[in-house]
C-alpha cells in the first residue's frame, strides 16, 4: 500500500478509526499526515508521536466541526502550513446525543448535520482544486450502517447525515473521476471503540454481536485497513462506492 511522499489529512483522528487510519497512512509512506481533533488533545498528541515514529511529519489541528467555523479553522491551518492534500479522509462524526423527534432541537440538528455531512462537502470543495491540478487524489468518506437502517433509538438525524455522506460520495465521484480523483466511502457496522462506549450499553452491544454473522464487533484497525486500500494504487478503478464493513450484518 505504497503512498510514498503523499500528504494526507484525517479528520476526527485523536482516537478510534481516525487514529488508526492516521497511523497506517504514516506507515504506508505518507510524508505528511495532518490530523484534526476536537476535545481529546492527549489522544492527538499520542497519534502525532506515532506518526513521527513511522517517519512522517505530523500536524495536529484543533477544530470543532459542529459549526463551520471549525472547518474554516482547519483549512486555514493547512494553508498556513503550505501543504497540498493528496489524500483526504473525512472521518469526523458523532451523534452528539441521542434525541428522538420531540427532543431534537434546531441547534442540535444543525450541529449534527454540520459535523457529519456539511464538513465533508466543504472540506472536499476546498481541497479538491489542488488534487485536480495534480491530476490525482483520493478521498475516502466514513458513512455508517445507520445510513441503511435508520440508526438506533434517538439516532435518526445522525443516520440521515450519514446517508447524505453516502449520496455525496456517489455524486462527487462522478464529478471528480474525470479529473483523476477517486471518491469512495466505507460504511462501518458496530465497531468496538469510544463512540459506543459513549452512546451504547454493553447489553446493546452484546445483542449486536448475537445478530452479527461474524460473531463479534469490528475493530478500528479493520476499518483503517479498508480505508488504506481505497487510498492505494491497488484501488485505482474503484469510484463512487460505499463499501459495507459490518461482519455480515447487512449480508443479503
- Give the pLDDT confidence score for residue 252 in this predicted structure: 59
SS3 81: coil
What does the pLDDT average to over 208-224? 95
At 200 the pLDDT is: 79
Please give the average per-residue pLDDT across 167-192, as a whole number: 97
- Per-residue pLDDT, averaged over 93-102, amounts to 94
Q: What is the pLDDT of residues 235-251, one digit of tens each?
A: 999 999 999 999 999 87
pLDDT at 215 over 70: yes
Residue 145 binned pLDDT confidence (cut-offs 50, 70, 90): very high
* Neighbour count for residue 189 (Cβ, 10 Å): 23
The tens digit of pLDDT for each residue in 123-141 reads 999 999 999 999 999 999 9
Catalytic residue among 40, 158, 194, 237: 158
- Mean pLDDT on 44-67: 98
Determine the angle formed by the axes of helices 41-53 and 16-27, rounding to 10 degrees. Answer: 20
Rounded percentage of the chain residues whose pLDDT exceeds 90: 90
Mean local confidence (pLDDT), 165-193: 97
DSSP code for 125: H
pLDDT score recorded for residue 1: 64
Q: Give the other-Cβ count within 10 Å of 241's Cβ.
A: 18
> Distance between CA atoms of 44 and 16, rounded to whole angstroms?
11
With cut-offs at 50, 70 and 90, classify the pLDDT of residue 149: very high
Closest CA to 217 of 225, 209, 229: 209
Give CA–CA dist 79/149, Å, rounded. 38
> If phi over 0 gives left and psi between -120 and 50 gives alpha, with beta otherwise, what is residue 19?
alpha
CB 15 within 8 A of CB 43: yes
d(CA 75, CA 119): 11
Confidence bin at 214 (pLDDT 50/70/90):
very high
Q: Determine the pLDDT at residue 108.
A: 97
Q: What is the pLDDT of residue 86?
A: 98
**For residues 224 and 24, is the Cβ–Cβ distance under 8 A?**
yes
- Model confidence, pTM: 0.95
Domain architecture of the chain: domains with CATH: 7-189+220-245 (3.40.50.720)
Name the average pLDDT for the chain: 96
Tell me if residue 158 is catalytic.
yes
* Residue 224 binned pLDDT confidence (cut-offs 50, 70, 90): very high
Strand-pair category, 181-188 with 32-37: unpaired
Give the span between the Cα atoms of 39 and 32, in whole angstroms: 22
**Integer CA distances (angstroms), 232 to 24, 31, 80, 139, 222, in order:** 12, 15, 27, 11, 16
Amino acid at each position: 500500500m505504497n503512498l510514498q511522499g503523499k500528504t494526507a489529512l484525517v479528520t476526527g483522528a485523536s482516537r478510534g478509526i481516525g487514529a488508526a487510519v492516521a497511523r497506517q497512512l504514516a506507515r504506508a509512506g505518507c510524508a505528511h499526515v495532518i490530523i484534526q481533533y476536537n476535545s481529546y488533545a492527549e489522544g492527538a498528541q499520542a497519534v502525532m508521536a506515532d506518526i513521527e515514529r513511522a517517519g512522517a511529519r505530523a500536524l495536529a489541528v484543533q477544530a470543532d466541526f459542529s459549526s463551520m467555523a471549525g472547518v474554516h479553522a482547519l483549512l486555514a491551518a493547512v494553508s498556513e502550513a503550505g501543504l497540498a492534500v493528496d489524500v483526504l479522509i473525512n472521518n469526523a462524526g458523532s451523534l452528539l446525543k441521542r434525541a428522538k423527534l420531540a427532543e431534537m432541537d434546531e441547534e442540535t440538528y444543525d450541529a449534527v448535520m454540520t459535523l457529519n455531512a456539511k464538513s465533508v462537502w466543504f472540506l472536499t470543495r476546498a481541497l479538491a482544486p489542488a488534487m485536480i491540478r495534480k491530476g490525482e487524489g483520493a478521498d475516502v468518506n466514513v458513512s455508517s450502517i445507520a445510513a441503511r437502517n435508520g440508526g438506533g433509538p434517538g439516532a435518526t438525524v445522525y443516520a440521515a447525515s450519514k446517508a447524505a455522506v453516502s449520496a455525496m460520495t456517489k455524486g462527487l465521484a462522478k464529478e471528480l473521476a474525470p479529473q483523476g480523483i477517486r471518491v469512495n466511502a466505507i460504511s462501518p457496522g458496530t465497531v468496538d471503540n469510544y463512540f459506543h462506549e459513549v452512546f451504547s450499553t454493553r447489553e446493546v452491544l452484546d445483542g449486536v454481536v448475537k445478530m452479527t454473522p461474524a460473531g463479534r464487533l469490528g475493530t478500528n484497525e479493520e476499518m483503517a485497513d479498508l480505508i488504506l486500500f481505497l487510498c492505494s494504487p491497488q484501488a485505482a478503478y474503484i469510484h463512487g462506492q460505499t463499501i459495507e464493513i459490518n461482519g455480515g450484518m447487512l449480508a443479503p
